[in-house]
Structure 1
Amino acid sequence: MRRSLRALGRSAAAAAAALLVLSSCGSEATPAGEPSGTAVEPPFDVAATTLRDTEGEPFALAEDTTDPLTLVFFGYTRCPDVCPAVMSTITSALTRLDEETREQVQVVFVTTDPSRDDPATLRRYLDRFDEDFVGVTGELAEIGELAESVGVFVAGAEELASGGYDLGSHGAQVIAVDQDGQAPMYWGQDTSSAEYAHDIELLVGDL
């Protein structure tokens, strides 16, 4: 029987507790078949914030995630290191999946630099990874509201006296969102493509 994202989140939380016990005994074993991602208990309720996709259409993450699993990342196109690394890892992970599983997964990139990441810029950036990825933008306050609802920190950009830009910072988590508009799991920036692929198969499959 297919297990829901919420059920797997509870399973991951139990596995984490078990791992702490094992660690205290000097063991480094990880429960086989459990997700690498971090469970959120209770799951985050995704804010009903309406932004815009790269086609100019309204996009509300809480309502428009129609696939069984959506991976959400907050970043910006001029990010020199973390953002392209995370997006490349996700892209690589998707190539590890069979076609049936891949069709059940969507990726949404929410810009944290909306003043410069217009829809055309976002689309060109995402097409470097996968043309099916969804790009989303809007007012920074709205983006921050959405990010906060799923536990991601976002700081706005400020123009410097030197003429450069200080983008502050943003969380590098990748968030799992289900069809119920809840986020029961997230991954850190050091997650490998193999770990993503393994977790995705658990989250949408019948393992």
Structure 2
Amino acid sequence: MLKRWAKLILSLLAYSPLFVILSIKNLPLKLGLIVGTGVFVIIFLMAWAVMSSVKKLIGQPIVVKIDRDINEQYVGFIVTYIVPFIGTIKTVNDVISMGILIVVIFALYLTTSLFAVNPLLKLLFGYNLYLCTINNKDGILLSREKLNRNEELFLQAYSLDNGSNIFIHHKGGVSKYEPNKS
């Protein structure tokens, strides 16, 4: 299970383009580019460390039935990147308002399965997002493999969040699931 700090780092990664956009939009261009790039690089390196540590974990064998690919959920996530284009941050009221919005978004992100819906996990690390049945319960699977709908598979995966049935699977070790014949 991911620790809270690791989920926070993944949420920072998910929203790092928003921070870059806000930096460029609200600071002088050169400073905005430097700050935005710096913030992104730092967050990316922390996320890379988290994902590298997860890759080293063996995980557990699970039975997965792929219900559908939900990579289109990433597009809905992009809507949050539009927020800074509504207006510029010029006053203390703007800073407080944006701060409240970001706190609410992060609270939802950390306490729900939204942390699995991270477009940068797809773009930077190559993870696909699947809605599936995992060990006979509804769940979400992040996998670098391209999996097909209605496939029943047996694979090694690591549980990202104890209560929400979210698993991550790295390439390899996938076999068709065949129930024991007695």
Give the TM-score band, short-chain normalised: under 0.3
TM-score normalised per structure 1: 0.24
Q: Normalising by structure 2, report the TM-score.
A: 0.26
Higher relative contact order (CA 8 A, sep 6+): 1
